[in-house]
Structure formats: structure tokens, C-alpha cells
Homo-oligomer: A and B are copies of this chain.
């Protein structure tokens, strides 16, 4: 298939009829007509060998995951996504069928989020990568990272650690073991927390998505807010059966939950309140001293470094 045919095939899979898409996939650029509040934009990339290995997940899961990972940054701003651009670098080994599966996963994720792909770019290269730009809207400045204050609570949405455990199982070539299946699914099919993100506007003082690990991403919030945080490892919301499965695999569940990213849940700060409690789990508090300190159930500092993933 040549480039024009590939784009036509991708368009057939990704086009969605929407009144606000004046020009969609296939022109020099996409044109959107929106009644605007503030535009919110983000870009994220998944690179083979860095963010994933092909042995770990099929092309459809890969596409789905890449899209949700990108949309997750808009969730962390409390924004409503309305469109996306897809830029693919494709090595020669990616067949037309592989590409279709990848694009189908992306299209399904775009439907989940309600933000269709309206354009993009195709290029050859030696290393498979999927770059997704997501654009949306928010009222005001959205929820930044710089608004946390001492005394506020630290909250985590959903459950964390499951995707890191699933990834560990895949890495140990035990992804097929039924005991790890729910956690492998957390890795394969994360969901950007778009709905809850928008409910956090007016509640959260700062937020980030947990893509690099709770301690690392909370660290970014603390750095931007010139504060620190204390979190209690025993309060972390983990999936059912998580501890037992981690032990079966010989992994430390506390480390997976503190340092593993990949679930794409949100960490946010807010004055402790019933509203915040209804949306997420209270796991700690903001302190005036810089740094993120992890405590055990008795309040004792945990040994070790849980800072998670740094890209460099």
C-alpha cells in the first residue's frame, strides 16, 4: 500500500461524523469549529523498546493504550477532550493488518474518550512510535500542578499498582498465567480518567496523572507547588488480590503501588472534604518541607527510593 492508500484506509477506520469537524483526516491540517472556553493541548508518545515491547501486547491494545495515555494528561487538567491527531513512525515490519489493528485500537479509545482523530502524519522509520496529540477545553486554567498547600489531603483515583504488576508478569513471561490476568488487563487497557478529571474542577487544588509512578508524579506536583508530601503506603488503593499476586510473582506490592505508573489514574490535592472523599482515596497530606516521604502503617518511614520512572 502506498501512502495515499494507507491514509485512506486509516481514514476509513478513524473518521467520525461530527458537526464541529469542518476538515478531518487527509488534508494539510484539520479544521475544527468550536464554541470556545480555553483550549487545552497535550502530546504523548509511546516508543517501542522504551514504553512497550511488542511481545507484551497486540497492536490493537497498543493503539488503545497509546491514545488513553495521551488523553490522561487532559484528564489531569480537568479538561474535556474534543479531538486528536495521530503521528505514526512505522518500521517495515508493521504489516497492513498490524496497522489496521493499531488504528482500530486507537479508534475505539477515541470513542471511549469522545475525541475523534481528525488528522495526523505517517512516516517510515526504524523504531515504531505512536505520537498522540489531544486537544480539548476547560473553564479557566484547568487544574495545574502548582496549587497544592500544606495541610491539604493527597488523593488517588481508582486503584494503582495493577498495571505495574501486570507488566512485571509480562516481563517475567508469566502474562498467560490466569492469576495475573486481571493485572495484565490493567496494563493492556488503562482508561484515562476523563470524567472524574472534570469533576475535580473546583475541588482539586493541583493534579497530575500517574504515568511515571505515584511518588514521581506527586513529586512533580510538590515541586511545582513548592511543598512536600507524606503518604501512607497502607492507605494506597490497590486492586483486589493485588498483594497475594505480587507475592506469587516475588515482587514487593508496596513498591509496585508507589513506583509503578501505567495505570493512568490521577493524584490530586484538595482540602479534606466529603466531596473529595467520594471521588478518590485519601492517601496522605501536603507538608511545608519539600520531598515526598513514604510511611508505613505505624507512621515509620519506609526504606528505599520509590521515585519510579525518569526518562533520562
Contacts and interface: CB of A to CB of B under 8 A. Distances in A.
**Count of identical protomers in the assembly:** 2
B3 A29 contact: no
Nearest to A47: B125
Contacts of A224: 26-27
Interface in A141-175: 141-142, 144-146
Given A45-B87, A124-B50, A135-B135, A209 B28 contact: yes
Contacts of A126: 49, 126-127
Interface stretch (A30-38, A246-254, A271-279, A283-291): A30-38
Contacts of A23: 77, 141-142, 144
A74 interface: yes
A90 to B, nearest CB: 8
Given A36-B36, A47-B89, A42 B22 contact: no
Contact of A43 (B1, B50, B121): B121
A67 to B, nearest CB: 14
A76 B26 CA distance: 13
A140 to B, nearest CB: 8
A4 interface: yes
A223 interface: yes
A22 B38 contact: yes
Contacts of A220: 4
A43 B30 CA distance: 10
A85 interface: yes
Contact of A77 (B28, B47, B76): B28
A21 to B, nearest CB: 10
A22 B127 contact: no
Contacts of A26: 145, 224
Contacts of A2: 310, 312
A50 B28 CA distance: 20
A34 B40 CA distance: 11
Contact of A4 (B41, B135, B223): B223
A39 B82 CA distance: 12
A76 B124 contact: no
Nearest to A36: B36
Contact of A119 (B42, B122, B131): B42
A53 interface: no
Greatest chain B CB density within 10 A among A4, A35, A123 is at A123
Contacts of A138: 31
A251 to B, nearest CB: 24
A312 B1 contact: yes
A119 B41 contact: yes
Contacts of A312: 1-3, 6, 90, 122, 124
